[in-house]
Amino acid sequence: MVLQPVADLFNHSSSGCGVSFDDAHFTITTDRAYATGEEVFICYGRHGNDFLLVEYGFVLDSNKWDEVGLDELILPELTQRQKDYLDEAGFLGKYVLDAETVCYRTQVALRILCLSLRDWRRFVAGEDDGEARQDKVDDLLVSILRKYIERIEGVLKSLGSSEVGETCPREMLSRRWRQIVKLVDKTIVRLES
């Protein structure tokens, strides 16, 4: 990471002014006309709120790049043999969902949990588009996500009653967990409709 004079004064937004640089120049290009006194934002990159929280110490209320990692939910559901098959196929871990989609990696992992090995291999090889069994996969994911929401509610309760550390970081963590609940809830509604 480097400090860029003046550019370090801009706050982040998931959309904003373009930033480019080379060995000789650093350029910020506005994305629209700005009124006098209006704050000008730049985009630090396509980062979800977890990354922004860890790297920069904030989360955005509206972040088109936000996503939720699902490894901690899906990996414990898998047997070692299933993990080995996923690893051999290049699909072990890095499972995410965002406001619009459940990633393909997640689709592959969920299918190994609810399909025969033969059918799973056909899906991974692209011989089957998976549509015929998508409802089964969606039901499994909804079940996993509902358990996750229950876990998050426990975390939020614990954060709400905690007096450890500073108030501001606890509030920031609570805010992030509530964002995750919204994202997960939206996914559940989309999958059930």
The string of pLDDT tens digits covering residues 155-171 is: 999 998 988 888 888 99
Could you tell me the pTM of the whole model? Answer: 0.85
Q: What is the mean pLDDT of the chain?
A: 91
pLDDT higher than 90, residue 143: yes
Q: Which helix (H) or strand (E) holds 16?
A: strand 11-21
pLDDT higher than 90, residue 87: yes
Tokens found for residue 20: 């480019």
pLDDT higher than 80, residue 189: yes
pLDDT for 3 equals: 56
* Greatest alpha-carbon span in the chain: 63
pLDDT for 89 equals: 98
pLDDT higher than 50, residue 1: no
Give me the phi and psi of 127, to 5 degrees please.
Answer: -85, -15
For residue range 30-71, what is the model confidence (pLDDT) as tens digits? 888 889 998 888 877 789 999 999 988 899 999 999 999 999
pLDDT for 167 equals: 86
pLDDT for 20 equals: 81
Cα distance between residue 143 and residue 114, in whole Å = 13
Percent of the chain clearing pLDDT 70 (strictly above): 96
Q: How confident is the model at residue 120 (pLDDT cuts 50, 70, 90)?
A: very high
Question: How large is the average pLDDT for residues 131-139?
Answer: 96
Residues with Cβ within 8 Å of 68's Cβ and at least 6 positions away in sequence, in order, are 48, 50, 96, 97, 98, 180, 183, 184
Residues with Cβ within 8 Å of 91's Cβ and at least 6 positions away in sequence, in order, are 105, 108, 109, 124
What ranges in 66-166 are assigned the alpha helix state H?
A: 71-74, 80-89, 104-114, 117-124, 134-161
